[in-house]
């Protein structure tokens, strides 16, 4: 092949790709890495927000801080991690606090009366218990029980068992509950609470009848206004 001037003296060349802007085909030197930009402001914010219990914002700032620290070589990784940890701790504390309020279980004294208000399973409710917030519903699992000297809008005045056997059907169960609860309530000693109360009852469902052998009917009196006395005192 033909060559340009001086090719015989210089010898063959190794072909290579040039770098744009470099007519000699030599790659320019890479810029020196920049100095650290100091402590990340996001990391500081995550730590402060974590201390203050800002459980929504602290994780956001913490994650952003870790990303920027890795990309830019900033300081503050420990602060970002601490902010995330504090946020997690606050979340746990809040969850425990909410759980203790929502799922506080009622406590009974040595005599079996409710001494501390809280939730009770409907299968643990017994005659003499005073309840709050009773409403008509297709199925109830828990009720709120309170000491009878505290305001309550319902009281369990009697209970009885339905006969053994197969599920008789909803209508026969309700009919028997209405009849028997009226009889049992009428047998209570006269009292202002009894005069103001309206008969209400909890009865088994087909599911509870079959799965937990539930036969119990709870007879209640519900009151139009909260009361602080009991219809079963002296019964």
What distance in Å separates the CA atoms of residue 197 and residue 230, rounded to the nearest whole number?
A: 11
Q: Which residue has the higher pLDDT, 4 or 84?
A: 84
Q: Assess whether 128 and 195 both reside in one domain.
A: yes
Q: Which domain holds residue 203?
A: 119-227
Res 153 pLDDT > 60 = yes
Res 11 pLDDT > 50 = no
Q: What is the pLDDT of the chain when averaged over all its residues?
A: 79
Task: Tell me, yes or no, whether 114 lies in a domain.
Answer: no
Res 172 pLDDT > 80 = yes
Based on the number of CB atoms within 10 Å of its own CB, is 154 exposed (0-12), middle (13-18) or buried (19 or more)?
Answer: buried
Task: Tell me, yes or no, whether 190 lies in a domain.
Answer: yes
Res 225 pLDDT > 60 = yes
Q: Which helix (H) or strand (E) holds 64?
A: helix 57-72
pLDDT for the residue numbered 81: 86
Task: Tell me, yes or no, whether 70 lies in a domain.
Answer: yes
pLDDT for the residue numbered 125: 93
Q: Assess whether 135 and 187 both reside in one domain.
A: yes
Task: Decide: 176 and 204 in contact? Cβ < 8 Å.
Answer: no
Domains identified in the chain, total number: 2
pLDDT for the residue numbered 177: 95
Q: Assess whether 95 and 195 both reside in one domain.
A: no
Task: Tell me, yes or no, whether 234 lies in a domain.
Answer: no
pLDDT digits (tens, 9 = 90+) for 196-220: 889 999 999 998 999 889 999 999 9
pLDDT digits (tens, 9 = 90+) for 96-149: 665 544 558 888 999 889 999 899 888 999 999 999 988 877 677 889 999 999
Task: Tell me, yes or no, whether 9 lies in a domain.
Answer: no
């Amino acid at each position: 092949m033909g060559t340009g001037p001086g090719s015989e003296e210089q010898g063959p060349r190794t072909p290579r790709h040039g770098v744009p802007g470099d007519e000699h085909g030599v790659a320019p030197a890479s810029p020196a890495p920049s100095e650290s930009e100091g402590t990340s402001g996001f990391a500081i914010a995550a730590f402060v927000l974590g201390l203050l219990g800002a459980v929504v914002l602290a994780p956001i700032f913490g994650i952003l801080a870790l990303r920027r620290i890795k990309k830019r070589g900033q300081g503050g990784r420990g602060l970002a991690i601490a902010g995330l940890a504090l946020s997690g701790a606050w979340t746990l504390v809040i969850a425990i606090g909410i759980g203790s309020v929502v799922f506080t279980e009622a406590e009974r004294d040595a005599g079996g009366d409710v001494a501390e208000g809280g939730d009770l399973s409907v299968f643990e409710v017994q005659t003499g218990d005073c309840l709050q917030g009773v409403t008509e519903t297709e199925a109830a699992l828990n009720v709120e029980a309170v000491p009878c000297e505290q305001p309550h809008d319902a009281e369990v005045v009697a209970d009885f068992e339905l006969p053994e056997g197969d599920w008789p059907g909803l209508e026969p169960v309700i009919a028997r509950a209405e009849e028997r609860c009226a009889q049992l309530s009428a047998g209570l000693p006269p009292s202002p609470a009894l005069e103001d109360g309206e008969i209400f009852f909890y009865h088994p469902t087909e599911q509870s009848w079959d799965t937990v052998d539930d036969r119990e009917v709870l007879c209640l009196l519900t009151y139009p206004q909260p009361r602080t006395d009991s219809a079963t005192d002296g019964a």
